[in-house]
């Protein structure tokens, strides 16, 4: 830790964040840059013994992160087998563990590049240490705001458009200011904060929602910030990307939520930011909800979202899962924003382009893969990942 603190002190200079977008991201989400000089991207070192690509990510356990880790390991095996570079996948269960891994990488002295899916913001010190040692790194999925200016690329799915897509879909299904809305966050990091930003920006009329499946839409019924604040200061909870986390909250609050919605025009909207948490709601309806609450719920208009791409949830929407009838009985409709964990392989491929000298990004740039709405109407077109 002494070394990390010393390295962090060396990072006091200010760096420019360059704008480079993709997918459906708008200028509201990009850095505008400044008059300060741009920072050049470190050149790959291929002739001095630094021939290892390190990939840092989650310990495979379940859900989206498990699949991301599995895809990463498979890609590393493929790269190593090809022979030009050695690729090492380093799984972890916390950001603090990833800091230790960054220290190990530095000590090894063979890193040509690092691709890092930070597990939480405590991984910041590890990214700072890599930068201080001149080791180029790509930040994937969870972007740590304090260190995104040091990454040679910040890459993820387009979380702003995930939020905008859900806002579009819920509004299309009748959501208005003052309605009862439940918000299920994964965590307090940039993934969910950007999904909230996109949701708010769409409803304020600042950005469009667009995808090749659905089209391009801009709301004509804008909300005020005060009306949006009421949503995100109401029935909201951080579920740690867990079905159990969502289940526990719903178990505590659902009678109150349903009573409030029943008294408030009989409409309920659930903004779930992950497939796992949507399953948490389904699981509670199946196993824990009272008969009286379920009767009230069935009589109301209820819409629920998700984000991810779990085949199990696709099966629910397609009507082929054991919980399909349950969902049809209590939800008027459901959807999931496609956000495949396989994109981690795409990001590793991008890292290989950097090592090959095929690189047009400036330090701090961002690139965001498109996402889109999957519902009962188009679910048969997509194959999801096995989440459980």
Answer whether residue 369 shows pLDDT above 60.
yes
At residue 29, the pLDDT reads 40
Answer whether residue 302 shows pLDDT above 90.
yes
Of 221, 141, 230, residue with least CA distance to 183: 230
Question: Which DSSP letter does residue 13 get?
Answer: S
- Rg for the chain (alpha carbons), in Å? 22
Does residue 279 contact residue 247 with C-beta atoms inside 8 Å? Answer: no
CA distance 365 to 361: 6
User: For the chain, what's the residue count?
Assistant: 388
At residue 60, the pLDDT reads 79
CA distance 148 to 145: 5
Answer whether residue 47 shows pLDDT above 80.
no
In this structure, how many other beta carbons lie within 10 angstroms of the beta carbon of residue 239? 23
Domain at 159-340+373-381, CATH class = alpha beta
Percentage of residues of the chain with pLDDT beyond 70: 88
At residue 33, the pLDDT reads 34
Tell me yes or no: is domain 2-156+341-369 CATH 3.40.50.2000: no
What does the pLDDT look like over 72-89, one tens digit per residue?
999 999 999 999 999 999
Of 193, 100, 93, 101, residue with least CA distance to 148: 193
Answer whether residue 31 shows pLDDT above 70.
no
Q: Quick one: pLDDT band at residue 122, thresholds 50, 70, 90?
A: very high
Q: Quick one: pLDDT band at residue 4, thresholds 50, 70, 90?
A: very low
| The two structure tokens encoding residue 269 | 């909207």
Spans of all domains in the chain: 2-156+341-369, 159-340+373-381
Residue with tokens 């904060």: 193
Q: Cα-Cα-Cα-Cα dihedral of 100, 103, 104, 110, to 10°? A: 150
What does the pLDDT look like over 182-209, one tens digit per residue?
999 999 999 999 999 999 999 999 999 9
Does residue 16 contact residue 37 with C-beta atoms inside 8 Å? Answer: yes
Residue with tokens 């201080």: 132
What does the pLDDT look like over 124-152, one tens digit per residue?
999 999 999 999 999 999 999 999 999 99
At residue 44, the pLDDT reads 56
Mean per-residue pLDDT for 261-265? 97
The rounded mean pLDDT for the chain is: 89
DSSP E strands, 117-266: 137-140, 153-157, 180-185, 209-211, 215-217, 235-238
159-340+373-381 matches 2-156+341-369 in CATH topology: yes
Mean per-residue pLDDT for 382-386? 90
Does residue 88 contact residue 55 with C-beta atoms inside 8 Å? Answer: yes
pTM across the whole model: 0.87
């Amino acid at each position: 830790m002494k070394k990390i603190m010393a390295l962090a002190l060396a990072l006091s200079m200010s760096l420019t964040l360059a704008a480079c977008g993709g997918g459906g991201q708008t200028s509201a989400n990009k850095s505008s840059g400044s008059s300060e000089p741009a920072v050049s991207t470190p050149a790959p070192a291929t002739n001095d013994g630094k021939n290892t690509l390190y990939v840092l990510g989650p310990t495979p356990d379940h859900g989206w992160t498990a699949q991301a880790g599995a895809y990463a390991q498979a890609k590393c095996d493929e790269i190593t087998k090809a022979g030009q570079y050695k690729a090492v996948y380093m799984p972890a269960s916390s950001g603090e563990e990833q800091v230790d891994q960054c220290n190990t990488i530095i000590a090894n002295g063979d890193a040509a590049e690092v691709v890092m899916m930070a597990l939480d913001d405590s991984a910041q010190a590890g990214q700072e240490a890599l930068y201080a040692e001149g080791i180029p790194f790509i930040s994937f999925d969870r972007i740590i705001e304090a260190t995104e200016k040091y990454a040679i690329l910040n890459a993820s799915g387009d979380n702003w458009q995930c939020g905008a897509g859900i806002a579009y879909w819920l509004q299309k299904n009748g959501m208005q200011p003052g309605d009862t809305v439940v918000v299920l966050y994964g965590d307090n990091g940039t993934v969910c904060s950007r999904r909230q930003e996109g949701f708010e920006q769409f409803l304020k009329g600042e950005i469009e929602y667009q995808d090749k499946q659905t089209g391009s839409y801009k709301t004509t019924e804008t909300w005020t910030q005060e009306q949006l604040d009421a949503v995100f200061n109401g029935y909201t909870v951080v579920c740690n990307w867990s079905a159990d986390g969502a289940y526990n909250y719903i178990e505590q609050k659902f009678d109150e939520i349903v009573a409030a919605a029943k008294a408030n025009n009989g409409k309920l909207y659930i903004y779930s930011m992950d497939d796992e948490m949507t399953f948490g709601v389904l699981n509670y309806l199946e196993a824990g909800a009272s008969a009286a609450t379920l009767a009230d719920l069935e009589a109301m208009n209820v819409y629920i979202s998700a984000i991810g791409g779990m085949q199990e949830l696709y099966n629910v929407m397609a009507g082929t899962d054991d919980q399909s009838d349950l969902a049809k009985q209590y939800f008027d409709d459901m959807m999931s924003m496609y956000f495949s964990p396989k994109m981690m392989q795409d990001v590793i491929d991008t890292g290989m382009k950097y090592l090959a000298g095929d690189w047009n990004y400036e330090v701090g740039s961002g690139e965001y893969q498109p996402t889109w709405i999957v519902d009962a109407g188009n679910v048969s077109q997509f194959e999801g990942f096995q989440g459980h």
